[in-house]
Structure 1
Amino acid sequence: MTGRSGIYSVRLMGAFRLLGADGNRVEVASRKAIGLIALLATGRDGERTRQFLQDKLWGSRESSQAQTSLRRELSNLRKILADEPEPLLFTEGARVRLNLPKIAFDIPVPGAANEDERPEPRGIAEFLEGLDLPGEEGFEDWLREQRALIQAQSSAWEAPGAYDPAPPLPVHLVDLTQPAPGFEGRPALAVLKFQNQTSDPALDFAAEGISEDLIDQMSRLRWLPVIARSSSFSQDLATTDAKQVGQGLGARYLVEGRLRAAAKGFQLAISTIDSENGQVIWSERFGLPDSLSNESLAPVLNGLTAVLGARIDHAEQSRAVARPSTSRDVNTLIWRGRWHLNRMSRADSRAARELFDEALAREPENPEVLVQAAWSMGWNIWAERISPEEMGVWTRLARRAMQAAPEDGRAHAVLGAAEMFQRNNAPAIRLFRRAIELNPSLPQAHAFIGSALNLAGRPDEAQGSLRTSLRLSPNDPFVFHTLGELATSYCMSGKWEEAVDLAEQSLIRRPGYWLAHLVKVNALARSGEAKASKDAALQMMEQCRGFSEADIDWLPYVDPDWNGYFKEGLRRALEGCETGTP
C-alpha cells in the first residue's frame, strides 16, 4: 500500500508499516505502540477506552503502572509524529481514538480514508506478523481472535481463485540454504499446521490454533529461529517429503501434530523431524481435556516448548561434536561447549568454559555467546565453590548478557542466579519472574525461583516452582539439581520421608551430588533413623571425596542458621545419635 498526499497509510497485514502524510515512512520501534494503533484501528469508530488499552497492553502490571505506561506510549507517539501536518490520534478524557478520515488501511476500517476501496490482495500475509508481547495474555488472545476473524472474512474480500500462490522468491533475494541472519548460523524450526483427525470439522480451528500457539511459545526461546506461521502453514508433509519441505522453508527441524479424539477428551500426537535425513528425532502423545481452553492448554504448550527446545539443543550438540575438532567457528564452539557442560564432570566443565572463553574472545558482544558463557561460568562456580572475587566476574558477565539480549529469558535467569548466590534474593526473584514472562517454558527459571525461596527460608513456597520445572523438562541433564532442591525444601519443612525419596531420585541421576547426599543424611538423622543416617553419611564421604563442612558454609542462605542446621544434621548422623524432630 503506497502513501497518498495528506493521508497516513497504515499496513497491518504482514509486517507493520506506517507512512506519514507526506508518503515517507515513520519508524515506530515500540511493539506496544504498534499494538496500540492496531487495537484502535479495529475498534468502533477507531476508538477504545484507556482501560481497554491498559488491560490488553499492560495487563500484567499494577493498575497505576499500566496507566503510566499508556500515558508514556501516547506521549512517545506524539513526539514521533510531531512534524506531521495532521494528528494521528486524539485523547479525550477516558477515551483514545484515531483520526480515521486521515488514515488509509490495508484492511476494511469503516470511516477510514479508503473505506470504499477494495483491500489489496494479501496472499499469505498474516495480521501483525511477527508481533509478540511476552506476558500480555490479553493482547495475545485479542490478536488470535483478530487473525481468525480476518481469515474468516477473507472470502468476502477476495474472489475464490482470484490470486494464485506466488512462486518462490529467487535465490538472489533470499537463499534458503543459508542460516537465518541474526541467529549466528543456528538452524531454523518450522511448526507445520496441525491436522484435525477427530472426524469433527468444527475442530479444525482448534488444531490450527494449537500449532499457532506453539509457534508463539517457541519464538520466545530466542536462540532458535522459528519460521513464521504464514510460511510454515503453507507446507504439508502429507503431499511433500520432509527434505523438500525443509528446503522450501529454510528449516532443518519440522514439527508436525495430529489432534485426535480419545476416550476422555483429546490426544495430541507430536513429531519432530530432521528434514535433512527425514529421521524422527522425538515424538510424544499428550492428553488434552474436552474444553481445549487457553487455561487447559497452557501447561501442555509450556511443557512441549521446553522439551522441543531441549531435544533440538541435544541434536545440535551431537552435530557439533561429530564435526572435525579443527572446526572453530563461533557456533560450533558454543555447541561443543554445551555438550561438555552436559557431561557434568569437573574436567568437562573446565573444557566448556575454555570453549566459551574462546568464543567470547572472538565475538565479545555476541548475545548468544554472552548468555552461554555466563551459564557456563555459573555452573562452574556451583561445581567448584569458587571465591567471591570470581562471583563478581560472573555477575558482570551476566549483566552484559542481559544488556545484549534484553528479551531473552535465559539472560535474566542467569543474572538472577548470580544475584541469588550473593544473597540478593529479592532482585534475584524479580529477575527469575521476568525470565518466565519472556519465556514461560524456561525450566531453569522456575527451578531458580524454588532455589531462591529455599535460600530465603521459605521452603513451602519453593515446592510449586520446583515441580513446575520438573514438569517442563523431566529429562533435562540437570534435573538432578531440581530434584535436590525439592528434596531440600521438604527437609527444611520437616517432611523427612518425601525428602529422602527426592534425594534418592537425585542421586540415581547424579550419584556424586553432595547436596542430595547431605539432605538425605539430614532427613534420616532428624527422623530418628540413626543407623540409616550414619550409613548414608559414610556413603556420602565415599562418593564425595574432598567434601567438608566448608561446602555447607558456602551455600548462600540468607539466614546462616540454615547452614548450621544442615551441619548439625550431618554431625548427628556421623555420631550415630538418635534424635527426633527438632
Structure 2
Amino acid sequence: MQFEFGDYILDPDRRELTRGSEVISIGPQVFDLLVHLLQNRERVVSKDDLLGAVWDGRIVSEATITSHINAARKTIGDNGQEQRLIRTVARKGYRFIGEVTEANSSDGSSLSTTDPERAELDQPSELLLTFPDKPSIAALPFHNLSGDPEQEYFTDGMVEDIIAALSHIRWLFVIARNSSFTYKGRTVDVKQVGRELGVRYVLEGSVRKAANRVRITGQLIDATTGGHLWADRFEGTIDDIFELQDQVATSVVGAIAPQLERAEIERARKKPTESLDAYDCYLRGVADVQKGTKAAIEDALPLFHKAIQLDPDFASAYGMAAWCYFWRKVNGWMTDRAQETAEGSRLARRAVELGKNDAVALTRGGHALGHLAGDLDGGIALLDRALVLNPNLAAAWFLGGFLRTWHGEPDGAIEYFERAMRLSPLDPEMYRMQAGMAISHLFARRFDTASSWAEKSFRDLPSFLMVVSVIAASHALAGRAGEAQRAMQHLRQLDPALRISNLTDWLPIHRPDDLAIFAEGLRKAGLPE
C-alpha cells in the first residue's frame, strides 16, 4: 500500500519515497518514522510510540527524536515553523496532518482513506512479505536421517541453538523458531520458503547417526536464486551429545556469518550508486576495509560517513569509520596525526555510546579506542562485552587478541587468534589474524614461529607495516641478519619516519619487556634510534 501526499509517494513495501520520477534519498529510521506517522495519522503519535516503532524500544535521547523529525520534515518539504505536514503537539507528540490518499502499490489505483468498505474489498488474499532492510535468514529444521526417533531432540535442539546464536548478530534479521519449525517434516522448495517467510537466505541440513558417531551437514542457500553459498560437514561421537550440539551450532554460525556478509556485499556492489542507502554504503565500506590497502581505506571512509549521514544512529558505521583511522595510524598513513587521532577517538566513542548492544560497534569502536586513545583496559572491556552479545564474532576474538597482546598477555592472546581462525577459516581478514599470531609469538620469544606467521600475513598484504616490522625483528633476533636487513629496507620504504624512539607512539605496547624485545630486534635489523 502506497501513501500519496502532495507531490510525494511513499511506498513502505519497496521502502521508497518518490517525488514525480525522482527517488528521494532517505535514511532507514527517518523512513520508518514517516511510515509510522502516516499509518497513524488519525491520532497523535507519542515519543514512546516512536521509540517502539522506529528504535525497537531502545532508549534514545530527546535530541535524536527531534533530529529525525526535522530530517523527515526536510525530506518532504516541510519545516518546524510552517508544520504543513508534520505537526508538533506540545507535550504530547507528533501528528501527520497533510491530506493523504492510499493507493494499491501493484496497480496504482487510488482509494480514499475515508472508504473502509472499498479498502476491505481491496485487501490481497495472501500476505506477501518484503525483505527487511538488513540480511534475513531462516534456519529450517534439519532432517533426521538416522532412523532413530530418539535423535529428534538432538537435531531440533541443535537448530534451536543455531537460531539463538544467529539472533545475537544485530545486523541480521532471524526468523523465530516457531515460524521456521512449521516446515518440520515437509519437503520444501527453498525459494517458496523465502517468499513465505520474507527472507533472502535459508539454512538447511541433515543429521545421520551410525553406531556411536553422528554426521551433521549444513548448507546456506540464497532463497532468491536457489544458489548455494556455503556447505560443510561436521562429525563427532555421541558420548557427550550436548557438547557436540553446542560445537556444531557455534561452528555453523561462525562459518555462515562471513558468508552472509560477503553475499550482502556482492549484492550491494551490484546496485547502482545513486540508489545506495545507509546499509549498502556500510557494506561497501566493509568490503574496502577488508582489503586493507591505503587506497581501499581512502575509499571506505567516505562510505561510512555517508552511511552515518543517512542514518545518524548507525552505531556500526561509526565503529568502522573509527577503525579506518586506527588502520591509517598503524600503517603510518596519517597526514595530520593529532587531528585524525582525535576524530577517530570521537567516532569510536560515538560508536560505543550508540551501540551498547551492537557487537560490531563495540568491537571496532572498542579496539579503535584502545589504539587511538591508549585505553587498553577500556577497550578490552568493550570487546568482552561484544563477545557476550555475539560469541561467534570472529572480529571480536582477533581484535580482542590484539588488545591483550599490547596489554602484555601474548599467550592468552594466541588463544583468541586461534578461536577467530577456527570460527572463520576463510575470512577475508585472515591476514590480520596471522599478524596477531606473529606479534604475540614475538613477545613470547618464539622468533621462528613469529616470522613464519608474519610471512603468511605479508603474502596477502605487503604494505602491512606491523607485519614487516615483525619479520625484520624476528629474523634479527633469530640471527638471520640478511633476511632482517631485507625486511628493514622494505619497512623504511613504507614509513621512513619510524624510529626506535617513537615505537609507543605507533603501537600501544604496555609491558616494558615486550617493548624492549621488539626494540632490540628492530635495532639489530637496522632501524635508527
User: After TM superposition, is the score higher than 0.5?
Assistant: yes
Aligned to 1:556: 508
Q: 1:568 pairs with 511, 520, 526, which one?
A: 520
Residues 283-327 of structure 1, C-alpha deviations (whole Å, 9 max, x = no match):
111223323544444344223212211101101111111122222
CA change 1:467–1:171 in 2 (3 A) is farther
Q: 2:458 pairs with 494, 499, 507, which one?
A: 507
Residues 464-516 of structure 1, C-alpha deviations (whole Å, 9 max, x = no match):
11211111112211111111111111111111221122112212322332222
Q: Residue type of the partner of 1:462?
A: A
TM-score, scaled relative to structure 2: 0.70
CA change 1:204–1:237 in 2 (3 A) is closer
Equivalent-residue separation in structure 1 for 2:347 and 2:126 (angstroms) = 35
Q: Which runs of 5+ in 2 are unaligned?
A: 1-48, 52-121
**Residues 479-488 or 219-228, more deviating:** 479-488
Q: 2:207 pairs with 217, 239, 259, which one?
A: 259
Equivalent-residue separation in structure 1 for 2:127 and 2:343 (angstroms) = 41
TM-score, scaled relative to structure 1: 0.64
Q: Which runs of 5+ in 1 are unaligned?
A: 1-26, 30-169, 576-582
Q: Residue type of the partner of 2:383?
A: F
User: What count of residue pairs does the alignment treat as equivalent?
Assistant: 403
Aligned to 1:468: 419
Aligned to 1:348: 296
Matches for 1:300-315 after TM superposition, within 5 Å: 300-315=248-263
Matches for 1:34-433 after TM superposition, within 5 Å: 176-180=128-132, 185-235=133-183, 239-261=187-209, 265-384=213-332, 386=334, 387-421=337-371, 422-433=373-384
Q: Residue type of the partner of 2:306?
A: E
CA change 1:263–1:466 in 2 (3 A) is farther
Q: Following TM superposition, by how much is the alpha carbon of 1:368 offset from its aligned partner in structure 2, in angstroms?
A: 4.6
Q: Is the 8 A contact 2:367 2:399 kept in 1?
A: yes
Equivalent-residue separation in structure 2 for 1:561 and 1:518 (angstroms) = 17
Q: Is the 8 A contact 2:318 2:365 kept in 1?
A: no
CA change 1:529–1:179 in 2 (3 A) is same
Equivalent-residue separation in structure 2 for 1:265 and 1:434 (angstroms) = 36
Give the match's secondary structure for 2:524: helix
Equivalent-residue separation in structure 1 for 2:142 and 2:480 (angstroms) = 54
Q: Following TM superposition, by how much is the alpha carbon of 1:410 offset from its aligned partner in structure 2, in angstroms?
A: 1.7
Q: Following TM superposition, by how much is the alpha carbon of 1:539 offset from its aligned partner in structure 2, in angstroms?
A: 5.0
Higher RCO, 1 vs 2 (CA within 8 Å, ≥6 residues apart): 2
Aligned to 1:157: none
Q: Is the 8 A contact 2:352 2:366 kept in 1?
A: no
Equivalent-residue separation in structure 1 for 2:185 and 2:201 (angstroms) = 13
CA root-mean-square deviation = 2.8
Give the match's secondary structure for 1:234: helix
CA change 1:454–1:388 in 2 (3 A) is farther
Q: Following TM superposition, by how much is the alpha carbon of 1:372 offset from its aligned partner in structure 2, in angstroms?
A: 4.2
Q: Residue type of the partner of 2:498?
A: S
Q: Following TM superposition, by how much is the alpha carbon of 1:370 offset from its aligned partner in structure 2, in angstroms?
A: 3.5
Residues 512-562 of structure 1, C-alpha deviations (whole Å, 9 max, x = no match):
3222222122222112223333344345556x4657337744111124664
Task: State the identity %.
Answer: 30
Equivalent-residue separation in structure 2 for 1:545 and 1:378 (angstroms) = 16
Aligned to 1:526: 477
Residues 429-464 of structure 1, C-alpha deviations (whole Å, 9 max, x = no match):
111111111110111221122212211222122211
Equivalent-residue separation in structure 2 for 1:441 and 1:233 (angstroms) = 23
**Residues 324-333 or 186-195, more deviating:** 324-333
Q: Is the 8 A contact 1:193 1:232 kept in 2?
A: yes
Q: 1:455 pairs with 388, 391, 406, which one?
A: 406
Q: Residue type of the partner of 2:208?
A: R
